Copies of this chain bind each other. A is one copy, B any other.
């Protein structure tokens, strides 16, 4: 059962943008791999930026939800642990794992993209919700780092002898520890 063209464009773009970077990937490459011409892409997306927008809008929504959730709860150790858990599940879900990697690797190239600006903003807000406002600096950095530890495992353990699942559990363990104290 054939996927529609729009979805296939998104898949190819996501892969190339992640592997080579946004700027280094031309619409011609995307079109070529899809087996159509460059011009055909313009039927589906207004601009190159628009392809990015379509990829990351869902991720923004998820972060908004996560942020709303954490704000609906008391600032407590339990909330923080559950936030880490939810965030870990979120970036693990197959659909968004690719998006997360794409975002990690194109921060600079897409620094002016409206949706990306909002996503960065939400991440900053999330890291501020994960600490007490008056906490000492080291504690705040430590807590914030907990979220990034969940991303770090994948590219730290690179050509690993470890399974996906082992890395995931190890990252969670490190993240929880960063929340203590």
Contact = CB atoms under 8 A, between A and B. Distances in A.
A122 interface: no
Contacts of A138: 169-171, 173-174
A173 to B, nearest CB: 4
Given A21-B109, A109-B21, A141 B157 contact: yes
Interface string A162-181: 10001101110110011001
A106 interface: yes
Nearest to A136: B170
A107 interface: yes
A152 B156 contact: no
A137 interface: yes
Interface stretch (A33-41, A71-79, A142-150): A142-150
A127 B21 CA distance: 25
Smallest CB-CB A-B distances: 10 pairs? A137-B170, A23-B23, A138-B170, A21-B108, A138-B173, A105-B108, A144-B156, A142-B174, A21-B109, A141-B174
Interface of A: 20-21, 23-24, 105-109, 111, 124, 127, 136-138, 140-142, 144-145, 148-149, 152-153, 156-158, 162, 166-167, 169-171, 173-174, 177-178, 181
A152 B157 contact: no
A148 B147 CA distance: 13
A111 B156 contact: no
Nearest to A158: B124
B156 A141 contact: yes
B24 A109 contact: yes
Contacts of A144: 152, 156
B162 A137 contact: yes
